[in-house]
Structure formats: C-alpha cells, structure tokens
Structure 1
Amino acid sequence: MSFNKFGTNKSATRYFISKLAGENLVPKDIPSDELSALNDVSAIYVYCSKDLKTYYIGQTNSIIRRHGEHVKELEGDILKYEKYFCEGHIAIFYGNEISSNLNYIEQSLIKLFKEFGAIYDFSIFNGPEGNKSDFIQDKRESLDVEIIHKILCSLKDHDLLNKEINTQIKSLNSLLYRHSPFYELDKKQVEILETVLQSSNIYCQKEDSFSTFIIRGGAGTGKTVLMNHIIAQFFGKNIFLKNGHDKTLKIGVCLKSNMIKPITTIFQSYGKSLKENNIFIGKWMDILLEGEKEEFDYILVDESHRLMQYKNNIFPEIHKQFLKKRKKENVLNLILACSKRTVLFYDDIQRIRPNDIEAIDCEDSYNPIYNFVNSSVYDERLSIQYRIKINADLKNYNRRYAKNYVDYLKYILQLSKKPPQNVDFLETNYFQIVDKMEEVKEYIECKREVFPYKNARVVAGYSRKDRWSGKKGTPNRKIEVKAWSEIDMAWNKDYKSWASVDSEKNRNQVGAIHSVQGYDFDYIGLIIGNDMTCTDGKITVKIKNYKDDRGKIKLKCDELEKYIKNVYYTLLTRGIYGIRVFIEDSDLKKYWEDMNNTLIRASQNKRL
C-alpha cells in the first residue's frame, strides 16, 4: 500500500496508490476498511496502465461504485479496463482541497494529459473535457494549480508518469492558461490537421501534392487553436525522431509580436527546447532569416492577413530593405520561397492597414501576385463559432446565436449584403448599445466586481490620441492628456503585453486594435469613435478623425473605409460573454438602432 498526503494539517490532500489485479481490477494494496471509508469521500482518481501508455482520469463521490462501473465497460467483446489497466495502478486523491474543486481539477488534469499525450504519444480515454467547470482563470489557477502540481508530482514520484514533463507551478499555469491551444477539435479541424500532417513523407509513404494550405475562418472559429495543435504534433514527432537519431522536420511559426511570448511559453512547458527540436517561433523577419540557413519543411502563419506588402511611406525601412535585398514585393511570396510547405491561417475581413497583403481571393482564382499554383493549394474554411458564448435557455451556449451575431456585424457594418438568419441574440444580455461613454466603463467595472478573475477590458477604435499639455521643454510637458478623458483612461502603453497581462495598470488602459487582435476577453466595452458615420444609409468614414497615421497615408476615404470597418468588426468579435458598445457619432448610432429594430421585426415575423 502506498499512502501519503500533501501537508500536515487536517485539510491536507491525501492519496492512495494501489496496483490493480485480477478480472475485477481489485486495488489490492488498500485495506477493505479504508476502501469502505474512501467510498464516502469525494475523490479524483487516475488509472495508469502497466506500460504507462494509457490513462483515465475521473472524479467521483463513490469510488467503489464508479470502479465497479468501469470494470464492466466493454470494448467490443472485451472488458475494456481489464485490457488496458490489469497489472497497472490506480491513484486516488482526496481531501477538502480536492472535494471543493472536483470538476475544475478533473477538467484541468484531462486537459494537461491530452496536451502531454500529443507530445509524448500516450493516450487518455477521457472525452473532450470531463465534467463542466468554469472557464479556467489565472487567479483561480494560482489556488488550484498547486493541487494539480502535487498530483502530477505524486504520479512522477511513484513512476506512474515517466515523461520529461515540467511540473513547475509557472509551467502548469501556462498550460492551463486561457489561450492554451489544446481544446478538442471538431470534425473539420481534425480533417484539416490530418491533411497538413500527411503532406509530409514522415507521416505517410507518398508525397502529397499540396504545397500551400489556406485555412480560412472568421474571428473566433478556432484558427489559432488548430495551428497550435499542428505545432504540437510536429513538436512531438520531432522529439521522437531526434531520440531515434533521424532527421527532424524544420518548422517555422510566424506570429504577431503580442502572441509570441504566450504561445512560446506553452510549448516550453514541456521541458523540451523548441529550437533544439527544430521548432522556430517568432516574427516573420526572424523566421525568414532562419530559413536562409536551411529551407523550412513547413512555415505556419497565424493572422496571415496581416503579412506585409511594400507600400511607400507606411512601410518600415528595415522591412523595405529586407524585401528589396531578396527581390520580393510582399512577405507572403518570401515565405513561400523559404518553405517547402506553407500553412496560412487567414481572414480577409481582419486586414486593417493598406500595407497588409492584398486579398488572396478565392479558390481557382487566386490573386496572381502570389506565387502559388492553384492545383497545389489546399483551401478549407472553418465556420463554427467557438469564442462567442451566448446563453438563451440557461442550459447551453447557442452556436447558432453566435454565428448569427457575427453575420449581423458584417451586415450592419456593410461588409456583407447577406443579413443574419435571425437576431434572436439581441433579446439576450450579450450585446447592447449604451447612451453614454461612462456606461461602457461602468459595465466593465461591474463585471470585474462580479467576476474578479475574468478578463474584462475597454477597447476602442483608433479615433483619438493621447497627448501632452504644453510645448516640448516646458515644465508642464509631462502632464498627459488622456485620449478618453471622459472616462479618465489613456491608450494602452505596451501593445505586446496589454492583452495577455491582466495587471491593474493594463486594466485601466484602453486597448487599441494592434494590442487586441489575436486575443479574446470575457467582457468587452467598446467605444466606436468619430472616425465612422452614416450618411443616407451608407456607412462612411471621417478620414481626419482616424489617428492611425501609418494606416491612412495617401488613402482616399473610400479606400480607408474597408480598413476602419474591419477594425471595428475585429473589436466587436473579441467578447466571450458580453459586450457593451458606445457610438460617438449620432448619425451612426441612429442608423445602428434603426437597423436593429428592422431586423428584430423581421425575426419576429419569421416566428409567426
């Protein structure tokens, strides 16, 4: 029998570890009187196969009953658990810390084991996420991740988990972090994942014809999640190949600056060096410099619609010289030239500056400025909305409502002529237009009070700038005049970390598009500024009120219009549970509210 505990007080977490024997998988190392007592406590349990290739994680308030149910489960005509776990072990963890957070701990362990399994090639029986628990939050992790840390360490100490897994608190936090990539994939995502992987002869014997993969999807459809699944598979395969002294795949991952640290930290948590296993993550220029040493097998590009093309005056000189030296007009063609295969995660509506690459257009009619041949392009679209969670029946999130909300935004912003199927979501508390800017801030402050560990932020279109009082060199030059003085808030100061670091300082700054893109937030308060208006039913822009100077040089209003609309579409799709919108321009506000009333009446008529 192996009995132990974490800590010394009465509330300390305790555990038993026992070998499983015979047809009924009897935990022979636990005395019957203690097993009877265990049956009356809440517990987390882990089945471990003898070869440590298979695991099952569960929670129960009756371990004897639950164990008996598992023992009877069939796989075809064979007793499933006997097949995998005979002569293996069961670990049972219990105590006040466990019982108060059963669902959360179970869900977190399942998630971690799925991630570890993706890298180290072991399996876990569990379905997507175990029993329902709250969305994982940073502050809550600081309390509960210590218990998870102790459970993992206990399994390692007893040789029931023998992989090189970094179980330090900081590393586990990064793996449980809300942007961690390893949520369950849907059927379409799995299909895309397998196609990308099978295009390499390391995964199959014949070479696939695809050299370019275009994965399209609107905001919140899981493009980054899928990308990280692909990285994990390559990472695990390279670890395996390296251990066998075989040649590994060279993988490049191009990210926007504000996503590099969180994504890199996730994969570093496996205790394995990315570069030593031929995985390179960074900004496009860093990746391409690395690619000049040796061609990449794959380059994956998140937010590929934000890749740069040469534009006078708004193109950084260092980038201009980089492309000029390599005789390329845009970064995409340079990436295609540096890699055998390229995977682009793409959403045309999220292009927000004129130096973002031109639209790549549609299958069988791709933009000829890009150097890929139609016959070698795999082109698929993700359509299920995962980010936005609109609850109407107090039971389940309604994905139809979420999709209709995104379609509604495109229609309202005149990015699409196709109206949403209905606007029933407007009858929920998810989306509302408010009358005063102060209400946006009040909404966010209210949600922080109700949910202290959720991420609620104020964001805005780039229609104002922070400035300084007085002239340069005068004594009062240091006094900052905040862009959003009505709510006593200035713009975010560090676009790389503003969205990912939930500090008090960051919470009290307004997020701009360049800090927000690529992230989601639990609650959003959005200010639509005076850079957009509506005249005779048509949305137009006020170019003088748009303050992104690098994003408007030499552009006419009709050219700038699509970029400003795309900015607001992107901002309007950041909120998970709710959003409040203040519209500065009175004509735009009236247009929006009139459109809402028209769409609501149309939805009501459909129901009659």
Structure 2
Amino acid sequence: MGLQCLYRGSASELDTAITRDDFIDDLEKRFREAFWQDPDEREVRSWRKSIPTVVRLLVDAGLGDVQVLLELKAPITDVRMDMVLVGTFPETDLRSVVVVENKQWSRIHPDAEMVRLSSDGTPQLHPANQVWGYLQVLRGYVPMLRDEKLCGIVNLHNAPAHLVHAIRPTVQGLGELVQRWVAVYGAEHHRKEFSDVLRRRLSGKHAAQQAEMLLEAPVKPAEGLMAHVAQCVRERTVFPLLDEQREAYDHVRNLVATSKQRTRKEIVVIVGGPGTGKSVIAVELLGTLARQKVNVVHATGSRSFTRTLWKYAGLPGNQRGLFTYFNSFSDATPNDIDVIIADEAHRIRETSRNRKNERDLREPPPQIDELIHAARVPVFLLDEHQVVRRGEVGSLELIRNKAEQLGCGIREINLRHQFRCAGSPEYVDWVERLLMLRPSHGRPVWQPLENFTLYVARTPLAMENYLKALMTENYTARIAAGFCWPWSEPNADGTLRDDVSIGDWRRPWNSQASDYLGDIPPSSLWATDPAGFGQIGCIYSAQGFEYDYAGVIIGPDLVWRNGWHTERRHNVDRDQYQAPDFSMVVRNTYRVLATRGMRGAVLHAYDPATNQLLMDLGIPILEE
C-alpha cells in the first residue's frame, strides 16, 4: 500500500492551477471523497493563503519542475502533511524530500520547548517539533526514504522575522536533530533564506519520476506497542509522536520541570478514541521521565494490561513498581510522586476499597482523589466510550468537576488522529455510527477503504479459517466475543472447555489462569502470545491491546430489530448485566472489540437477523 495525497503536480502546474476559480473547490471535493468529511475552515484558508507563498518561491527560484504533493497522508496514520516537495538533490541522483508545514500565525512566543500565540496564551506544540515528527514517521515507515535526503521547513509567512528568530530550533534549544533537520522561516527577509535553502536541497531533475516512486513505495507495517515497550522504557524514544501526541508529551514534560515552583497543581487530561496513541504517549512519557530520574509511575485499572507490560518491558521484580494499579495510592503521601500516568482512566472506580476498613467507619475516599493527591503532575488518558462494566466512573466530566472542587488547573488535549485500523478514522467513525454511539444520517452503509479490510462472516468457522490463514503469513489475529456464554473452570487435565457454542462450532474462552496451562497462555497474555489464537477473548482480555486482524462475534446480548435491542438475559457477566445503562455498556463493548485490528476486521453476529443487517450494509461477505 502506497502513500496518498490530495494533489500532485509540478510547482509550475500548481502555480497555474491556483489562479483558477475552481481549484479550491476541486480540493474540497477530493477531500470529501478521501476522508468522508468536509475540510476544516482553517485548512481551506491555508490552501488559499499559504500554498501560493511556497509555490511562488519555487517558481522564482527556477524550481518549477519540482513536484508538490498537497495533504500527503503520513504512513500508519491519518495525519496529513501540508506540502511535500519532491525532486533530486542538486548534482546527484538522490531523491530529495522537503516537508513543509504552513502556519498563518502572525504572533508567536517561545515557552520552554513549546510556543504561545499570545503572551498569556496556552502553550502548544512547537511547529519544528511537529515537522520533526513527520520526518521520523517517513523515515521509520517508508524504507525507501531511510537513506534519502530528507528535511523539514516551517513556513510562518505572516510572522515578522524578529518573532520567528526567537522560536527557531537553535535559539530555543530544541533537540539536536530538530535543530539540524528542521528550519523555520517567517516573512520579510526570511523569504530569501527560504528560497536559498530550496535551491540547496532541490532540483527538478527527474522530479516526476521521483514523486511517482515515492507515492508507490511500500510502507512498513506498524508494530504494536508491546513489540518495543522494553526499548521505550529502558533505552530510548521509539515511537514518533505526531501533532497532539507530541503536544501532550511536551506539555507534561514542561509541567514536570516547573511543578515544584508552581503554587497550583495542574491536571492533564488526554482524550482520544481507540488507536489514537494514548498508551504510546503514556509509555514514551514513562521512559523519558524515568531515564531523567523523575519519580514516575504508570497506572491502569487493567490486570491484563499491566501484567503484559511487566512481561514485555522485561523489568526485574524490584522495578515492576513502574507499572501499577489505580488502587495502589490509598496510603500515598500527598505529592510524594512526581508524575502518575493514569492510562485507560475510563476504568477508574468509585473507590479503591470494596468496603470500609473494619476499624475505620469513614467512607473511603474516591479513587480519583487518591490519584490526584499522590502526584505533583497527575496525567489521565481516557476514552469515554470504553466504559464497559458496572462501577467504572472515569470520565472527562468527573475530572473537570474534581479539578474545580480541589482548586486545580486542568489542561485538556484531544487526540484527533488515528494510528490503528491502518490509520483509517473512517472505519472507527463507521463502527460508532453502526452502534449508534454517534449520530448517523441514514443507514451507515459500508464504503470499502483502500488500507483497511472489513468482512462479515456467514459462520464463525469462516471467520476462524480466514484469520488462521493470515496467521500463516505472519500476521497476528484474535477472535473475541461478547460475554454471552458461561466461563467454565479448566478440565482436570488442564485443557479448556468449549464454552462458546454457535451451531456445530465450539471453542473455549481464553484461560482464566494466572500462569500457563501447558502451552495455553494466561488471560493477561492472550492478546500477545501467538498461542492465544484458538481461544475466544472477551472485553477484559482484549481491551487495551491490538493485533493485525480482529475477529468479533456479536453475541445474543445485542440484536437488530429495526434498531438495536440489548438483552440482559443473554449476558452472563455480572458487572455488565447489572450495569444501570446496560445498553451503552454493551455497545461500548462491541466498539472496543471491533477496533482492536490494525489492518482489518471480520464481524459475525450470533443472531441471523443481525448478521443479515451487516450484509445489507454492504460489507463484503466471507464465505466458507
């Protein structure tokens, strides 16, 4: 699968095209066809105002043959780069690629490694760090570019030179590699500097062929978090952080550096749907801060996720405290920990204790209070549509109310970009519309995507055989189901009972054991150990994890009868069927299960009418 962009043409062709009245209308139409939505007003304004400032420099510099790619979609994600210039490095045959980020800002001020757009504005991502993330993801996931000439430019064409000078990477002291490979140019005399660097980096020789080869270049598959968690925690930064991901990372690091001088605690809340990189941010922060000797811990409400992190981080027993649970801070001294990173904060419970201490008749404090009090910098990462059991109370509203009650500041950062599901937010959006977790104007008919595969299976056997074949090609795959079948103890010989039964097809749930039963992995490793295939996972063994292909069995607790109906009697999980909002919990469950796949998914509904609905929506049918 190659790279995609909205427009490709030479600088001279684009110089002519932008004079046409219908050029912007054409870009908007292409955008809607590619991304299922209207472009943001600011994007359209940038197309009108910013693109010409770069194109004019190229043409005036005699670089009219250089190819310009507009809105190039970065590999493995739906992040888009404003402009990518492709040509040949002067006096060589090497491909040269220049990534340009356009900003229409006229005012800008430095703030540690971030910037503000006014003297009292909110700190936000430094555009040089933004561009550096794009260079990292191109080098990391497009093998063709690893040895090519690659650099980045921030085009602040409305900003006066003296303000731009103050935020240049060398002046502001950004990372050494950012200083080396990313330049920032403003208005006035900076335009000549900009033009000069374009001449030094680009020529139009064979530019069309270079651009075509780049767009057709194979993209390296994204690897899951667990594949690199040990390096990330113990050695170095591994994952490129893009846009709001990097903004969140930089903001927390700035807070840590100044926390002891602050008179008011600030809570950071990072909100994002499945696959937006919440756990990647969490682990990158943990690793960076731990290597800087900051007292930091990563906490979750998930036994499976935390124990898997223990295993894949490869930490000795005395260092496993880096990964702990939300209920570990009942007796913590206030501000005793520099940073608590509360990952999957939607799983926060009402309290950390199931009952009052027999010698203490007071009500136990809310778990959210314990987390906030224990850390100088409390960081919460959450997805409000992943509340899947009774007693889970984590939400943005809860944290906002608590911040106001405790007199804390709060910074909310929303992650917009998709890194799972092959970087296809269209799929996640479709799942949410299908399950009526967001408004849907009409039937959510499936529109095939170029980089994500979706099927509906007539039978679970067809699903299993398809996924099994993919595993022989070194992909990872799992089947998970709604909690609609009893979960038996293992047989006396250690084998698992075939509890999940659909017609003649019978398979066991994943093991409940805390250790291996022969080759069968414990529940905490079901999603990551290859031997987990063949057992059926549930929401508790799948939530927080990812694999290449997700098989999802929609059980009889969710059926389509001219609308969704949820059936408590068919759900056997006490924490789910006793939930006050059972319908929301069940639909959230299937949203989570359906968005575990990085490359594709297969759906099968136990109820025939519900399975027919999926077929009627245009999902390709997977036969036996």
Contact 1:405 1:425 in 2 (8 A): no
Q: Which residue of 2 aligns with 1:199?
A: 255
**Aligned-partner Cα distance in 1 for 2:318–2:240:** 25
Map 1:496-511 onto structure 2 (within 5 A): 496-503=524-531, 506-511=532-537
Quote the sequence identity (%): 16
Change (3 A) 1:377 1:523: same
Q: Which residue of 1 aligns with 2:376?
A: 340
Map 1:411-560 onto structure 2 (within 5 A): 411-418=433-440, 423-425=446-448, 430-449=453-472, 451-452=473-474, 454-467=475-488, 480-484=497-501, 486-493=504-511, 494-503=522-531, 506-535=532-561, 537-553=562-578, 555=579, 559-560=581-582
Map 1:298-447 onto structure 2 (within 5 A): 298-309=339-350, 319-321=354-356, 327-328=363-364, 330-357=366-393, 359-361=395-397, 366-367=400-401, 376-389=409-422, 399=423, 402-418=424-440, 423-425=446-448, 430-447=453-470
Deviates more, 1:291-300 or 1:512-521: 291-300
Deviation string 1:513-552 (CA, Å, 9 cap, x unpaired) is 10111100111111111111123x3212110101111322
Change (3 A) 1:185 1:427: closer
**Aligned-partner Cα distance in 2 for 1:464–1:274:** 38
**Aligned-partner Cα distance in 1 for 2:232–2:373:** 36
Deviation string 1:439-468 (CA, Å, 9 cap, x unpaired) is 11111111112x13x211111111112448
Deviation at 1:308, TM superposition (A): 1.1
Indicate the SS of the match to 1:417: coil
Q: Which residue of 1 aligns with 2:309?
A: 263
Change (3 A) 1:299 1:205: closer
2:413 alignment partner AA: E
Deviation at 1:429, TM superposition (A): 6.4
Change (3 A) 1:123 1:584: same
Deviation string 1:315-343 (CA, Å, 9 cap, x unpaired) is x9x53347977744532122122222210
1:283 alignment partner AA: Y
Deviation string 1:288-316 (CA, Å, 9 cap, x unpaired) is 45x34972222111100011125xxxxx9
Indicate the SS of the match to 1:445: helix
Are residue 574 (structure 1) and residue 596 (structure 2) matched? yes
Contact 1:212 1:372 in 2 (8 A): no
Are residue 229 (structure 1) and residue 284 (structure 2) matched? yes
Are residue 253 (structure 1) and residue 286 (structure 2) matched? no
Map 1:161-176 onto structure 2 (within 5 A): 174-175=230-231
Contact 2:224 2:546 in 1 (8 A): no
Indicate the SS of the match to 2:390: coil
**Aligned-partner Cα distance in 1 for 2:430–2:496:** 42
Change (3 A) 1:203 1:465: same
**Aligned-partner Cα distance in 2 for 1:351–1:478:** 32
Deviation at 1:488, TM superposition (A): 3.3
Contact 1:443 1:525 in 2 (8 A): no
**Aligned-partner Cα distance in 2 for 1:176–1:428:** 27
**Aligned-partner Cα distance in 2 for 1:191–1:479:** 46
**Aligned-partner Cα distance in 2 for 1:429–1:103:** 21
Map 1:141-156 onto structure 2 (within 5 A): none
Deviation string 1:476-499 (CA, Å, 9 cap, x unpaired) is 999934323643310001321211
2:375 alignment partner AA: S
Indicate the SS of the match to 2:478: strand
Contact 2:480 2:551 in 1 (8 A): yes
2:427 alignment partner AA: Y
User: Which runs of 5 or more residues in structure 1 are unaligned?
Assistant: 1-64, 71-101, 108-120, 142-171, 239-248, 311-315, 390-398, 598-608
Deviation at 1:207, TM superposition (A): 3.0
Deviates more, 1:427-436 or 1:563-572: 427-436
Q: Which residue of 2 aligns with 1:601?
A: none
Indicate the SS of the match to 2:355: helix
Change (3 A) 1:374 1:588: farther
Q: Which residue of 2 aligns with 1:188?
A: 244
Change (3 A) 1:564 1:587: same
**Aligned-partner Cα distance in 2 for 1:477–1:285:** 32
Map 1:35-54 onto structure 2 (within 5 A): none
Indicate the SS of the match to 1:379: strand
Aligned partner (choices 281, 287, 295) of residue 336 of structure 2: 295
Contact 2:282 2:298 in 1 (8 A): no
Deviates more, 1:482-491 or 1:251-260: 482-491
Contact 1:336 1:371 in 2 (8 A): no
Deviation string 1:242-263 (CA, Å, 9 cap, x unpaired) is xxxxxxx432221222222443
Q: Which residue of 2 aligns with 1:26?
A: none
Deviation string 1:167-215 (CA, Å, 9 cap, x unpaired) is xxxxx894399xx983101122111111111113x35895385521110
**Aligned-partner Cα distance in 2 for 1:185–1:577:** 20
**Aligned-partner Cα distance in 2 for 1:66–1:176:** 37
2:253 alignment partner AA: L
2:354 alignment partner AA: H
Q: Which residue of 2 aligns with 1:282?
A: 324
Contact 1:182 1:228 in 2 (8 A): no
Deviation at 1:362, TM superposition (A): 8.8
Please report the TM-score for the alignment, with normalisation by the length of structure 1: 0.58
Please report the TM-score for the alignment, with normalisation by the length of structure 2: 0.56
